[in-house]
Amino acid sequence: MIWAILILLMLGLLLSAFFSGSETGFYRVTRVRLVLDGRDGDFISRRLLWLTNNPSVFVATTLVGNNLANYLTSFAIVLASQTMYPDHNAEILVSALFAPFVFVFGELLPKSTFNESPNRLIRRIGPLFLFFVVLFAPVAFILWCFAMLLQFAVGETPLRVQLTMARQSLQRVFHQGEMAGLLTNGQRDLTRRLFACSNATVNSLMRPLTQVNMISVDSTVEEVQRAARLSQSVTLVVYENHRKNAVGYISVIEMKLREQQQIEQYCALPTFSSGCQLTEAVAEMRENRLPVAGVVNARGQTIGIVYHDDLVQTIMR
């Protein structure tokens, strides 16, 4: 009987510590970290990010979990009091004696721990928390229905409000970083330009093929140098058979250093979809050191060209 009571008490304390700590962790976790890990293919991070975007499910899970933990702990304490003092009504006294122990190990310590390392601990307890999400799904569904009713009454979805607040919070972080001396004025201006260009796509910044100074794969060195002077660029797009068939690009400087009399080889032309965001295109071109790339439509046809320098200048303006 004593061992059963101890096991019941430890289970209640562990559940209380788990849900209390995870609640603090979810409020403190870095949303950007979940996004980056999710884009890298981490299944758990994607599900945790989904929970942060659906707070009604998260709240339902933690509420049911905490109530279950409190019930198990209280039940174990009552059983312990009845076992130790069968002839006396000592439930209140025993509960008062256990209260500091439960508060420290079931509430204070886990909350403080998750507050210090939210990202690492949330990722570790993620699979178990997702298990409880599935287990408590019926209650979460009831709360979700209530959230939908509230949305209908208010006329605004919680997700759109959350995304707006996320951008404002991030801007406040940059402002606080500047005030603390961690960011310069130039760095803060750059972040403002990035925010302004966050919705721009490469389709709006590309040069149509008819406006791009291109050369044929059969061009001689004189024709390449003439095209470079006309376009005032050391990187030229190469086409094969006709101008709509852009296949790659060459560096005029490398061609001259190798003393080539014609185009012997060229780099394959990377492509972006027409709906690709400007910031993503800049990041990929900088990471892979791509001076130029093609823009393709839904049918995979190249409809334009984007230059790395043009995209950077758009952000820096």
| DSSP conformational letter for 40 | T
Residue 239 burial class via C-beta count within 10 angstroms: exposed 0-12, middle 13-18, buried 19 and up: buried
**pLDDT, position 196:** 63
Q: How large is the average pLDDT for residues 140-148?
A: 74
**pLDDT, position 284:** 85
Average pLDDT, the chain: 80
**pLDDT, position 253:** 85
Residue 93 has pLDDT above 50, yes or no: yes
What is the CA angle 13-16-22, rounded to 5? 135
**pLDDT, position 225:** 86
**Residue 168 pLDDT class (50, 70, 90 cuts):** low
**Residue 18 pLDDT class (50, 70, 90 cuts):** very high
* Strand spans (E) along the chain: 207-208, 214-216, 235-240, 242-251, 267-268, 271-273, 292-296, 302-307
Q: What percent of the chain has pLDDT over 90?
A: 4
**Lowest-pLDDT range of 151-160, 169-178, 261-270, 271-280:** 151-160
Confirm or reject CATH 3.40.50.970 for domain 202-316, answering yes or no.
no
Residue 156 has pLDDT above 60, yes or no: no
**pLDDT, position 131:** 92
**pLDDT, position 162:** 45
**Furthest CA-CA distance within the chain:** 108
Tell me which of 182 and 42 has the higher pLDDT. Answer: 42
**pLDDT, position 163:** 44
Return phi, psi of residue 213, to 5°: -80, 100
pTM, entire model: 0.49
**Residue 175 pLDDT class (50, 70, 90 cuts):** low
**pLDDT, position 164:** 47
**pLDDT, position 160:** 44
Which tens digits make up the pLDDT trace of 257-289?
A: 888 888 888 888 899 998 888 878 888 888 888
Q: How large is the average pLDDT for residues 246-265?
A: 85
Quote the tokens at residue 72: 């198990």
**pLDDT, position 293:** 92
Residue 315 has pLDDT above 50, yes or no: yes
Q: Is 26 helix (H, G, I), strand (E, B) or coil?
A: helix
- Name the residue ranges covered by the structural domains of the chain: 2-154, 165-196, 202-316
**pLDDT, position 165:** 46
Which tens digits make up the pLDDT trace of 186-225?
A: 666 666 666 666 667 888 888 898 888 888 888 888 888 8
Cα(93)–Cα(215) distance, rounded to whole angstroms? 90
**Residue 128 pLDDT class (50, 70, 90 cuts):** very high
